[in-house]
Amino acid sequence: MIPGGYGLPPSSKILKKDRLPSFLERLLEERIVFAPVRRGEVILIREIHAPSEVVLEYENAKESPKSIFFPEREPLFRYRTEKGKVEVDIPPGRERSRVVFGIRPCDARGLLLLDKVLGGEYRDPYYFDKRAETLVVSLACDHPNPSCFCLSMGGGPCSPEGSDLLLLDLSDGYLAEAVSERGAALLEDPAFEKSDEESLAVAKKIKRESEVSMKPVAMKENLEEHLERVFDDPVWKDLTETCLGCGICTYLCPTCYCFDLCDEAAGSSGERIRVWDSCQFPLFTQQASGLNPRPTAKERFRQRIMHKFSYLPKSQAMLGCVGCGRCVTECPVNLDIREVVKSLSGGNGG
């Protein structure tokens, strides 16, 4: 790993904007490329076939890019039963390398949490097959959205964590910083030119201004311990009164990874499918006996917060939120996770 932080050349180079199309053309010759594209009113991260499709003047994509590594619906294997025997066909792995270009640093950092969770004792081969062969080129946020709070979650609008290459918009070009060896290899492309002290100084200024523009989230020290103490506090009921249990917050979240397994079968053959699930759905914890240990929105919402701010910091040494702000902007009843954390931090249950 090459240390991040807009260091000195050769880890940083300049990519002039008029040379970006030729760089993307060369990427497209060798790899499948995903990048921000406009679809109607929104920006989504999708596979592109031409540089002209890419939109880099955007705040953040509507959905997180986690589905590129962890699809919403993924066939795991096909099976066939015949005369008491079972035959299993596992889909082949990736043949072409890929690059995810122009995602935001919060989403790149979110991948680090997925790496930890899906790479634990039971390493998920489907996820890592995609992750290992995919380069991540992120685009720093020089004007963070008011709903973003990555800095309070341990990241930052220009954080290199989770990226192979980090780009920062300097107006007529991008300062490109290699974060990994794979990112450094990309800088060998002829589209890049040597950076200079002036560009590095401008980048530092943009980074500082971007961080200063973010409103911090008031969080109690040792929040993970504090949350355990307020587990039975009546504040949870008040906080979650309006939650509809729609699951949008978890589906859009770059770090939520809960899934369900189901079989789609016809006769003696079928397919085992992995589909996203959500802790906000009543059936998530419904047991065959009829018992549901999380019977109301209060328990389900509490689980989401406990998991992100108490259980994951304890088990994975990382918060389960990267502050992308999607759940803040997309929750249909405006349930703001920043306000929830603030209320719990000042709650009277501890």
Rounded to whole angstroms, the Cα distance separating 347 from 43 reads 37
- Minimum CB distance to ligand SF4, residue 143 (Å): 18
- Minimum CB distance to ligand SF4, residue 237 (Å): 14
Residue 248 within binding range of ligand SF4, rule CB under 6 A:
yes
Residue 254 within binding range of ligand SF4, rule CB under 6 A:
yes
Residue 244 within binding range of ligand SF4, rule CB under 6 A:
yes
Q: Residues 265 to 294: which contact ligand SF4 by CB under 6 A?
A: 280
Q: Which stretch binds ligand SF4 (CB under 6 A): 24-32, 83-91, 185-193, 331-339?
A: 331-339
Which of residues 203 and 327 has its CB atom nearest to ligand SF4 in the complex?
A: 327
If DSSP states are collapsed to H, E and C, what string results for 292-338? CCCCCHHHHHHHHHHHHHHHHHHHHCCCCCCCCCHHHHHCCCCCCHH
The residues with which 137 forms a beta bridge, in sequence order, are 101, 165
Token reading at 209: 């201004």
The residues with which 34 forms a beta bridge, in sequence order, are 47, 100
Which of residues 167 and 249 has its CB atom nearest to ligand SF4 in the complex?
A: 249
Residue 113 within binding range of ligand SF4, rule CB under 6 A:
no
**Alpha-carbon distances, residue 221 vs 122, 156, 226, 227, 320 (angstroms):** 32, 19, 8, 11, 16
328 Ramachandran zone, left/alpha/beta (phi>0; psi -120 to 50): alpha
Which of residues 203 and 279 has its CB atom nearest to ligand SF4 in the complex?
A: 279
Which of residues 155 and 160 has its CB atom nearest to ligand SF4 in the complex?
A: 155
- Minimum CB distance to ligand SF4, residue 321 (Å): 3
Q: Which stretch binds ligand SF4 (CB under 6 A): 21-29, 45-53, 193-201, 315-323?
A: 315-323
- Minimum CB distance to ligand SF4, residue 169 (Å): 22
Token reading at 99: 């690059």
Residue 253 within binding range of ligand SF4, rule CB under 6 A:
yes
Token reading at 104: 């935001």
Q: Dihedral angle at the C-alpha atoms of 145, 148, 150, 151, nearest 10 degrees?
A: 70
Q: x/- binding map, residues 174-213, to ligand SF4, per CB under 6 A? A: ----------------------------------------
- Minimum CB distance to ligand SF4, residue 303 (Å): 11
The helix or strand, by DSSP H or E, that contains position 169, with its residue range, turns out to be strand 165-169
- In the three-class reduction of DSSP (H, G, I as helix; E, B as strand; rest coil), residue 224 is classed as helix
For every residue of 107-168, DSSP letters joined together read: HHHHHHHHHHHHTSSS--HHHHHHHHTEEEEEE--SS--TT--GGGGT--TT--TT-SEEEE
- In the three-class reduction of DSSP (H, G, I as helix; E, B as strand; rest coil), residue 19 is classed as helix
Which of residues 160 and 323 has its CB atom nearest to ligand SF4 in the complex?
A: 323
Residue 35 within binding range of ligand SF4, rule CB under 6 A:
no
Q: Which stretch binds ligand SF4 (CB under 6 A): 5-13, 17-25, 137-145, 320-328?
A: 320-328
- Minimum CB distance to ligand SF4, residue 218 (Å): 15
Given candidates 151, 203, 327, 344, which one binds ligand SF4 under the rule CB under 6 A? 327
Given candidates 170, 206, 331, 341, which one binds ligand SF4 under the rule CB under 6 A? 331
Token reading at 106: 């919060």
Given candidates 135, 335, 341, 344, which one binds ligand SF4 under the rule CB under 6 A? 335
Rounded to whole angstroms, the Cα distance separating 312 from 295 reads 23
* Backbone angles phi and psi of 238, in degrees to 5: -65, -40
**Alpha-carbon distances, residue 178 vs 6, 105, 128 (angstroms):** 9, 14, 22
Residue 310 within binding range of ligand SF4, rule CB under 6 A:
no
- Minimum CB distance to ligand SF4, residue 245 (Å): 5
Site residues for ligand SF4 per CB under 6 A: 243-249, 252-255, 280, 308, 321-327, 331-333, 335, 337
